[in-house]
């Protein structure tokens, strides 16, 4: 059994949860300990106890530790990428890429630890000056989803630690192995006991115990809107600072003047890679009428060439979805799309592979309208819809007609439309001739409307969430 990590100790538990490989249901990755409410309370107390020692280290000492963690992750990216593919179902290449990204995030925030700046201003009063400085918050809770089981824990933990906070991490029960490996790496550094803590188990029990602990100073969450809204209420009631990342229904516009081959590649990557299980997935393809038929026909051809299979088989393009319940949910939404009158032009079914797994074919709907459920709600599977529109203006209006606003893309050769889109698309991230998914780690990540709440994650903006600003007035 893989244990929880609390106050510098590995703690087994009476209960455990199995982690099953979605590509091969006969393969159990391991059993993972379940943290009780008392374990969670102890982890938060340990993080509170460790906070002054960790914050009291020099930025150089914290940077050195983060650099060590980042280096080991990068050096072991092959092995940890394979583990990620095995527990989550991303292809091996995607798994290795994600682990590499997690390592680079730690290395990046090692540098940021040294760049935590303040400012000095003259006061409006004579003989007085004012200092504005940043301080750690204290104890940060991180609740993370299964779809980026290495990178998302990294992009919450690394900035929290860089700026002097201690951390309690609750990863998703469907994919805890990558988070466990990350904490194992942290446990072998010189961090004071209690600086990082791992509490595994279900969201409803372990997650709720963490979020509801009033001794947390801040909570960073990525996952569904329902859970995010619930967490927001708890955090507000306790005055816990929080940020939420809650997904998208990301549009990709394809204009008549787009490079057709490029647009098809962008759509395949954005909508179907990682089995569409990305909050940034291009789930709505909005295509102008002059290119619509050619685009759909080329896209179908490209989908026919994709291999769905075991995530760790190098010939696989699309692995399984994470779990049987998720697969059933996606299939039910596909059925709903059919009932609403959308035309299924590719896929829509389970795929049989050599081993029993949660395989689903890439699925494409045409003749869809933006009012349909398949265009309103996040499906989180390898499913995309096409909507045919007259021109750019209609495309933009359809793209913006969503409760979400995470990422938005356009394929065009027109600088005029690209520039207009950049300014008027209602999303936190804009992609021109690029997939809506797949982001850099050194720039801000996050959305508008119902996609996100609070400070942006990643890049230099992360400091806003993980520090508190202090203003000091100095008289003579
Ligand atoms: N924006 C994104 O990146 C993601 C969006 N989603 C969307 O959400 C849908 C459902 O996915 P799901 O994994 O169930 O997402 P959830 O929001 O349920 O899970 C995200 C994290 O929150 C935890 N959690 C769940 N309930 C609570 C709670 N009451 N208190 C504290 N923590 C909690 C989960 O634990 P546990 O999983 O262990 O129960 C997990 O660690 C997907 O189909 C997709 O549409 C999902 C993942 C990522
Ligand atoms: O597209 C990406 O690179 C990141 C996506 C993401 O963070 C998510 O799906 O939760």
Q: Write the pLDDT tens digit of every residue in 295-331.
A: 999 999 999 999 999 999 999 999 999 999 999 999 9
Q: Which atom of ligand 2 is nearest to the CA of 222?
A: 10
- Nearest-ligand number for the alpha carbon of 379: 1
Tokens representing residue 52 in the block: 């002054």
* Å from CA of 29 to ligand 2 middle: 24
* Sign (positive or negative) of CA dihedral 330, 332, 337, 343: positive
CA dihedral 243, 230, 233, 136 (to 10 degrees): -30
Give the Å distance between the CA of 447 and the centre of ligand 2: 12
Residue found under tokens 């709903």: 336
**224 touches ligand 1 (CB under 6 Å):** yes
CA 399-401-406 angle, to 5 degrees, is: 65
For residues 10-47, b (16+ Cβ closer than 10 Å) or e, as one string? ebebeebbebbbbbbeeeebbebbbbbbebbbbbbbbb
Whose atoms come closest to the Cα of 201: which ligand? 1
Indicate whether residue 147 lines ligand 2 (CB < 6 A): yes
Whether residue 278 has its Cβ less than 6 Å from ligand 2: yes
Q: What is the CA 301 to chain-centroid distance, rounded?
A: 30
Cα of 4 from ligand 2 centre, angstroms: 26
DSSP notation for 224-285: -HHHHHHHHHHHHHHT-EEEEE-----EEEE-TTS-HHHHHHHHHHHHHGGGG-STT---EE
Does the Cβ of 147 fall within 6 Å of ligand 1?
yes
234 lines ligand 1 (CB under 6 A): no
What is the set of active-site residues?
245
Compute and round to an integer the Cα radius of gyration of the chain.
Answer: 23
How much is the pLDDT for 134?
98
Nearest CA to ligand 2 atom 7: 279
Q: Which DSSP letter does residue 25 get?
A: T
C-alpha to C-alpha distances, 343 to 24, 255, 289, 294, nearest whole angstrom: 32, 21, 17, 17
pLDDT value at position 476? 79
* Cα 121 to ligand 2 centroid, rounded to whole Å: 39
CA separation, residue 297 to residues 78, 157, 285 (Å): 37, 44, 14
Low-confidence residues of the chain: pLDDT under 50: none
Cα angle value 269/439/184 (rounded, 5°): 105
CA-based torsion, 155, 233, 447, 338: positive or negative: positive
- 419-451 confidence digits (pLDDT tens): 999 999 999 999 999 999 999 999 999 999 999
> Against a cut of 0.90, is the pTM above it?
yes
Any ligand 2 atom below 6 A from CB of 406: no
**Rounded to whole angstroms, how far apart are CA atoms 427 and 250?**
9
Closest CA to 354 of 316, 305, 306, 301: 316
In angstroms, what CA-CA distances link 253 with 94, 250, 283, 414?
A: 25, 10, 11, 13
137-155: pLDDT as tens digits: 999 999 999 999 999 999 9
224 CA → ligand 1 middle, Å = 5
């Amino acid at each position: 059994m893989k244990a929880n990590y609390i106050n510098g100790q590995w703690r087994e538990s009476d209960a455990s949860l199995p982690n099953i490989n979605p590509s091969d249901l006969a393969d159990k990755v391991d059993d993972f300990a379940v943290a009780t409410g008392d374990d969670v309370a102890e982890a938060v107390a340990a993080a509170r106890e460790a906070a002054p020692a960790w914050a009291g280290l020099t930025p150089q000492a914290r940077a050195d530790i983060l650099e060590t963690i980042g280096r080991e992750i990068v050096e072991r990216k092959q092995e940890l990428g394979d583990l990620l593919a095995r527990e989550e179902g991303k292809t091996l290449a995607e798994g290795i890429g994600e682990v590499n990204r997690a390592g680079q995030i730690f290395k990046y925030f090692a540098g940021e630890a040294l760049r935590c700046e303040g400012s000095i201003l003259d006061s409006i009063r004579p003989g007085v000056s004012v200092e504005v400085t940043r301080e750690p918050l204290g104890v940060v809770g991180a609740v993370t989803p299964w779809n980026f089981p290495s990178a998302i824990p990294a992009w919450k933990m690394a900035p929290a630690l860089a700026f002097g906070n201690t951390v309690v991490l609750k990863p998703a029960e469907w994919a805890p192995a990558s988070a466990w490996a990350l904490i194992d790496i942290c446990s072998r550094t010189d961090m004071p006991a209690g600086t990082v803590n791992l509490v595994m188990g279900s969201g409803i029990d372990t997650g709720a115990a963490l979020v509801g602990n009033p001794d947390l100073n801040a909570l960073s969450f990525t996952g569904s809107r329902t859970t995010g809204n619930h967490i927001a209420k708890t955090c507000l009631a306790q005055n816990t600072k929080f940020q939420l990342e809650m997904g998208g229904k990301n549009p990709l516009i394809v204009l008549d003047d787009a490079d057709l081959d490029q647009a098809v590649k962008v759509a395949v990557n954005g909508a179907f890679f990682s089995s569409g299980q990305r909050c940034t997935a291009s789930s709505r393809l909005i295509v102008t009428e002059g290119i619509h038929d050619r685009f759909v026909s080329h896209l179908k051809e490209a989908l026919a060439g994709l291999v769905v299979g075991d995530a760790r088989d190098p010939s696989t393009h699309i692995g399984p979805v994470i779990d049987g319940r998720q697969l059933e949910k996606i299939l039910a939404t596909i059925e709903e799309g059919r009932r609403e009158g959308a035309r299924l032009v590719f896929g829509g079914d389970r795929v049989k592979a050599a081993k029993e797994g949660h395989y689903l074919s890439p699925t494409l709907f045409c003749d869809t309208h933006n009012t349909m459920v398949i265009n309103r709600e996040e499906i989180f599977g390898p499913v995309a819809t096409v909507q045919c529109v007259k021109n750019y203006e209609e495309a933009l209006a359809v793209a913006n007609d969503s409760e979400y606003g995470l990422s938005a893309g356009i394929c065009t050769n027109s600088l005029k439309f690209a520039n207009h889109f950049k300014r008027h698309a209602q999303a936190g991230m804009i992609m021109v001739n690029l997939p809506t998914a797949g982001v850099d780690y050194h720039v801000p990540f996050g959305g508008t409307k119902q996609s996100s709440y609070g400070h942006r994650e990643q890049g230099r903006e992360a400091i806003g969430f993980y520090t508190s600003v202090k203003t000091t007035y100095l008289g003579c």
